[in-house]
Structure formats: C-alpha cells, structure tokens
Amino acid sequence: MPEMKPDYRPQESTKDYDTVRRTTCTNQCESGCGMKIFLKEGRIVDIMGDETHPLSRGGLCSKGTSQFQRYYDPLRVHYPQIRKSLDDPYQRVSWDEAIDFVAERLTLLRQRYGPESLAIFRTGRASMGQKVGGGRFGHFFGTPNVFGQGPICCESPGAAMNYVFGAEGFGRLMNPSPDWKNARCILMVGTEMASQEVITYRAILDAKDAGAKIIGVDTRFNSSMSKADLFLMVRNNTDTALFMAMANIIIQEQLYDKKFVDKWVYGFDEYKEACREWTPEKAERVTMVDRNLIIKAARLFASSKPAMATGCLGTAQQYNSNNTNRSIAALLALTGNIGIKGGGWNWLHNCRPPLSYGHDTHDLPEPRRPVIADNLLPWGDNSVPVIINAMLYGKPYPIRGLIWNGNHLPQFPNVTKTERALRNNLITVHLSIYPNHTYHFAHASFPIAMGMETESICHHGNNRLIQWHNKVIEYQHEHRPDLFFYAKLAQKLGFGDKFPWLTNNDTDVDEKGFTNWLLNEDHMTRGMSSFNLDPEHNPRGGIMWPAETEAEATYQDPEATLRGKWIMYREGDPYPGTDSRFPTPSGKIELASPALEKLGWDRVPRHREGSESWIANPERARKYPISLNTCRITASFHEGGHWWPWADELIPDRYIQIHPELAKILGIEDGDTVVLENDRGSIDGPAWVTEMVPPWGCWVNFGFDRYQPFHPYETVNVVIDDIIKDPVYGQIQWKSMAVRVYLKGTDGTMAASMIHDYLKKKYPNLFNDDGVLLGTYKDRNWDYEEKEPWVDPFSGAMAVAGLKTGE
C-alpha cells in the first residue's frame, strides 16, 4: 500500500476524553468514511475523521461529525409500543409483551390468509440484522414476499449491467474511486454526489486536478455538475436517446476501439443500426440538448482514453432506466474502457454483494403462492407497488402483514394510497429509530439500536466495499438490534433454532457471530470476517468484494489502497466463479441481449417516452405541464438528518425550484409559498426561483415527512405514480412526473394553462412526437376492485373499498 500523503494530519480532539475507538460511518451514505470516536466514561464527546482511512483520509461530512446528536437524540423511540388498531394510541409494553402481540397476530394472519400474506421490507440503510435476518425470518415463516429497497432506490442500473457485462446478481461497480484519478475523461450522469456522497465526490475532484475532463449530464444543474467541463441538461427520461446519439457519432466518425469491439463486443452491428436514427438533430429535438454539445461530448469521450462513467439515481428512477444504463455501458464498450485503469462503469450504490439468507433456506419447500411481482426480471427485488395493491385490493392475493424499518412510507410512491393500503393490515410492525411517518402507521413499534450501538458489516456501494463498524457505546433505554427482534420472534413462533444468536438469557444478541456466519454463507464474501475487517487492528478501509478466500482479501495491485479485487473484468482475469472474463452467454459484452429479449424487453436499447411526458400524454400535459424531478441532498438521507439539529439546519426546508421565466408568468417571487400538485396529491413550500432547473421542469428535495420535529413538510412522493414504472426492474419514475406549480391562493388550473401555452410556443418540440416510441403502459392493467371489503377484526374498521388504480 502506498504511503499516506502527509497532508492527512492526525486530528486531535480538544474535548476531555479517556478513550478513542475506530469505526466506520454506517448507513448515512455509501462513502464509508473512517471515524475516530472520542469517549469519556463511555459517552461520545467528539467525532473526527480517521486520517489513516484510505478513502476518507480524515474527512467526514456534516452528517458524520454531528452523529452524536443522532445517538443521544431524546426524540428517538426508546421502548416497545403496541396498539390494536391504527386509530388507538400506542401503549408502552415490555419487549416480551410486544413480541407476544406480534406473534399472536402473525399466527392469526397465517391461519386466515396463509404465510405468504406477510411482506418484509428493508431499506438500503438497514442493518444486516434486518437485511439478512429479516429475509431469513421470512423464509422460515413461509413467505416469499421479502423485498429490498431496489425499486424505490437505484438498483436498476446494476440489474442492467448483469445483462451487459455478466455478473452474479447485479452487475457491479468495476473500478474503485481511488482509481478515478487515472481517468482522462469522466462521464457523470444523473447524480448529486457532491451533496449526497460528499467524500466519494473527492475522487472526481482528484481526477479533475489530475487533468480529467468531466462531462456532466443531468436534468438539473447542481453542485456536482458545477465542476463539469461540459454540462448537458437533458430532458427527463431521454438519456437513452442522448447516449445513443453519442454512440452514433463515435461509430460514424470511426472513433471507436475496433480491436476491442471485434474481440469483446456482441451485437455491435445491431446496436450500430439502432443508433443510426439518432442524428444530433433528432437527438436535440428529443433531449433538448444542443446538437453541438452532443457532438462535442461524443468526441471528447471517445478521444480521452482511459475514460469512465459514474452516476446514480438519475439514471435509475425513470421509465427508460434499463436502456439508459445499457446505452451508457455501450459507450464504455465501444471505446474499450472496460477492465483498465481509469476506465469502468463505476456506479454509486450499485455494488452490494449478493445476500444469502442461509443455505438451509434452499431446503425449504416452495411457498404455496409465488412472490408477488409485476416486473420482467425473474430475479432481484420486486417492484414496490405490487405490495400496495395487494394490501389495498387483495390481488393477486392479499398482503395483510408487514414488517419494515426506517421510514419507508413517505419514500413510497403515491403515499396517500399507501396510507390507505396500510389501514387494511392485520399487523404492521415498525422497527423504529424515530417516531416518523412510518411509525404512525404501524401496530407495533420496537426501539432499534443502530450504528455505533451495534457491530457488524456495512456495505459501501461506491467502492464494492465491505467494512466493519464497531460497537462503541452501550445500548440506551431499551434499544436492541434488528436481529434481536427477529431472533425473539422466531423463538416465539417455534423456529428459534434457526436464529441461534440470542445471548445473556435472551436479553441480547450475538451480532458478531451472526455476521461471521453470513459472510461465510456466500462465496463472494467468504474471505472476510470480523477478524480481518475490524479497523481497530487492520489496515483501514475494509475489503473489496468479491473475496472468496482470505488470500484474496489483500492488496492485489501495486496501486491498490484498498484490500481485495482492485479492478473488475481485466483481460486474463476470469470473473469470480467462472472461466470467462465476461460471464454473459456469449462471453462478451452484450450490446444486444437475447436474454432480455426472451424476457419480453428490448434486445438492443431504444428510447421510449415516459408515461407523463408531453408527447406520451398530451391531455395530461394540459393539466400538469411541468416535469418534476426529485432528489435528496445532504441532510435528507433516508430517515436521518432531519431528526437531529445540526444536520437539519443544513437543509431545513423542502424547496420547490422553478425557472425564473415560469416564476415571472405566474407572479412568483423567490421565497413565496407555492403549491405543487397533480391528481394524486399536493404539497406546498417555499419557491426557489433559479436557472438550475429548465423552464419545462421543476425540482423538489425529498427526505421530509409531516412528523419530523423541526421542519415538518408533506413528502413530495404524494404526487408520484405507483403503477407505471421501468418495466424491467420496476424502478419508480421519481424523475419525470407531470405536475403544476402556482402561487398559493391563486387558481391552479389557470396557472397550468398559462404554463402549457408558454411552453408550447417556446418549445414546440416538447409536444412533437417525431416518431418516437411511447412506453408500453402494460402495467395500467392493474385495475382492481375490492369485491369484499376487508374488516379489521380488532377495530371493526372498514377497509377502503371500490377504489381503482390511478385514482
């Protein structure tokens, strides 16, 4: 490992402390910073960055340094609570009483509806106890409906890469961020990493300092894009057209790497033909990006080897998610930028190893009913809305029980509909940190220990990294880890032997033993353990997966600053567990995918208009003429941030960004209260009048809910559709919903009409289909009607009945 640069000075606390512990920042983002925790008599008095950590190099973002407020937050949920109905107040009970209550309802649920009627959800920020423990519990309970966060987060790109490059599970990040400084060009798409993944963004700055040119592509200008040498503001959901146009230029101008393509690319001729229609002129009309910028970006990318691509949610949360990501991968493949230093498809978040719920779950009989799913992929997470509909309408079969963590509810699409659906449940359990929106729609709440109160691994998906976080402080109040909940509940339901990790007379749980068990269950992580990961007695920074043996969990390259596999898909280096560089059916990078074609999707990428664009739905555009984009910024990472004061102060308000031209038409001044709405819901908040958004779009930061203590705002997700989504993976279209914005107190219909007419005059192409494909909209067939209203046997409350989707 190279010597650490001298400017990473050891940081010394000025506080009165008696102990320093080293650990890893958990579950606040995917950067995975190293931390030094200063303690006095077992209590945190200071938090600083670990200067010996190869990624964070002593840096922490505001969420890292302020985390002591998170642990000692008096607003946290401190003890178990239950209630018979959502209309009753919670009652404080003991852990055993609360477990008895849940077990009783789950037993009733199993008798009445079958075990498949229980769904278990995890967030990306969940502990291993929730991710693996929850999944394992679900399998032994007998439900296939164990769901990850993927479709409401950003796993679709990883799923697309599985088909392009070949991988076990999700196609994963290739080159770690310390390698990015070797790139001469970085294509940075659909991300606000400077705000959300603060420390990882330093890798972009390092590359820029070393001379790399940055091509930024986003629907909105943001702090990350401010460092771009070329910035392409693309119309929502049209990235596929943009990247196919760039590919067309690269191919037509013979700028591609012919040798690499001949040897390693499958489907080149088909892709070349598919791209041919995307001339710069047509691409400009569809994407709203100037044709000269498209040409410039294509030439810059193709002539700057090595070049890499990175990005995040912007490429995921759209109808074209699968094809957008395949078309980005195609740019890398055409230019031979795979498996080399400074190259690679290096996506944020999308590099978690496969999760195993235990080999013994494979011996279980098949559940009586299959997992509820409506996406094309037969593997990976299933789309979220199917659960909403199964709870609300009981189709294709009822879901009447739910266990989830974090703050899922305001992060779901169509939140009002989800709230109605939750009212139908016999039992909803919230594994609580805060009394947030989700907590208020549960029957049982358990006080969950987190981060430094627990010990286990954390995945840091920006670098294919697994790190260890240490238990630094004792549990407070009645907090216990998620795993404790599942172990106690399994014991009560008669399969406690599958959770042999309870300790101290069943008052605690052995998280270290559990984590070593799960690392050993999957061949991709078998070379790791608490012993070689713990930052207190190992080189900092954890180990990059895959590491099938301990021997692989070492520095594998002279340049490596992290242990483990440094660069994926190198020539002569077979993909783990295979004898092929690219473990696709053809053994090559597949720009044409027979496997996706077999699933009913596009053999080669194509652009399709999303469900709520002006072209796809002109009638809707009259009522809701602006395209909404949402994303989180620093404080708003899942349920954190807004519950502790220092982080909340950074982003106290949920802004509605609109362009100055629209503001002028509507008589809106910066800071005025404006309404944003469509037929699903409505929010209001301060206007931020700015050219960061285009005239046809607006932007809202998410991560708020109406139960937050300091700045409660309704979640923007009340306006998001739950039905039409990326058909392959089920990714929700958070980046392209049709809405209208107007000054509060004025007429929304009139405002919509004024905006529509203005945009139509100024941008006729926005309303011109020009022969582009529309989305398939097959999911609109979800037209359920509840024939037999559900009656809650405990409260007698009638379920909402007779609703149809799309209401």
Angle at 180 between CA 179 and CA 184, to 5 degrees: 125
Burial annotation 692-717 (CB, 10 A radius, 16+ → b, else e) = bbbbbbbbbbbbbbebbeeeebbbbb
Give the binding range for ligand SF4 (CB under 6 A) out of 58-66, 345-353, 396-404, 528-536: 58-66
The span from the first CA to the last CA of the chain, in angstroms, equals 59
Residue 611 to residue 163: CA distance in whole angstroms: 25
Q: Pick the closer one to ligand SF4 by CB: 27 or 248.
A: 27
Work out which of 39, 48, 60, 716 binds ligand SF4, going by CB under 6 A: 60
Q: Which of residues 83-112 bind ligand SF4 (CB under 6 A)?
A: none
- Minimum Å distance from CB 70 to ligand SF4? 11
Q: Which of residues 191-250 bind ligand SF4 (CB under 6 A)?
A: 198-199
Q: Which of 61, 283, 604, 674 binds ligand SF4 (CB under 6 A)?
A: 61
Within 63-82, the residues that bind ligand SF4 by CB under 6 A are 63-64
Q: How far is the CB of 56 from ligand SF4 (least distance, A)?
A: 6
* Among candidate residues 152, 146, 150, 156, the one with its CA nearest the CA of residue 601: 156
Least distance CB 28 / ligand SF4 (angstroms): 3
CB nearer to ligand SF4: pick between 56 and 335: 56
CA 483, 484, 488: angle at the middle one, nearest 5? 120
Check binding of 541 to ligand SF4 (CB under 6 A): no
The CB-side HSE value for 758 (13 A sphere, CA atoms) comes to 17
Closer residue to ligand SF4 in complex, CB, 460/512: 460
Beta-strand relationship, 427-432 and 401-405: parallel
**Binding of ligand SF4 at residue 29 (CB under 6 A)?**
yes
Based on CB atoms, which residue is closest to ligand SF4, 452 or 675? 452
Site residue total, ligand SF4 (CB under 6 A) = 13
Min dist. Cβ of residue 637 to ligand SF4 (A)? 7
- d(CA 44, CA 47) in angstroms, rounded, equals 8
Closest distance of CB 64 from ligand SF4, Å: 2
- What is the spatial distance between Cα 292 and Cα 284, in angstroms, rounded to a whole number? 9
Among 23, 31, 324, 617, binds ligand SF4 (CB under 6 A): 31
Q: Which is nearer to ligand SF4, 63 or 603 (CB)?
A: 63
Nearer to ligand SF4, 614 or 637 (CB): 637
560, two tokens? 């490596």
Q: Does 465 bind ligand SF4 (CB under 6 A)?
A: no
Nearer to ligand SF4, 288 or 450 (CB): 450
Element (DSSP H or E) covering residue 491:
helix 482-492
Q: Name the residue with tokens 């957008």.
A: 324
Q: How far is the CB of 26 from ligand SF4 (least distance, A)?
A: 8
Between residues 31 and 715, which has the closer beta carbon with respect to ligand SF4?
A: 31
Identify which range of 26-34, 123-131, 709-717, 788-796 contacts ligand SF4 by CB under 6 A.
26-34
Q: What are phi and psi for residue 742, nearest 5 degrees?
A: -155, 160
Q: Contacts with ligand SF4 in 183-202 (CB under 6 A)?
A: 198-199
Bridge partners (DSSP) listed for residue 345: 309
Q: Is 37 in the site for ligand SF4 (CB under 6 A)?
A: no
| Dist. CA 758–CA 665, nearest whole Å | 9
- Using CB under 6 A as the binding rule, whether residue 33 contacts ligand SF4 is answered as yes
Q: Where are the beta strands (DSSP E) in 618-746?
A: 626-631, 656-658, 673-677, 682-689, 697-701, 737-743
d(CA 341, CA 577): 23
Three-state DSSP state, 677? strand
Q: Which of 22, 23, 25, 240 is in the footprint of ligand SF4 by CB under 6 A?
A: 25
Q: What percent of the residues of the chain are helix, what percent strand, and what percent coil, each to the nearest 5?
A: 35, 15, 50
- Cα-trace Rg, the chain: 25
Least Å from the CB of residue 461 to ligand SF4: 11
Piece of the chain touching ligand SF4 by CB under 6 A; list 60-68, 176-184, 231-239, 500-508: 60-68
What residue ranges bind ligand SF4 (CB under 6 A)?
A: 25, 28-29, 31-33, 56, 60-61, 63-64, 198-199
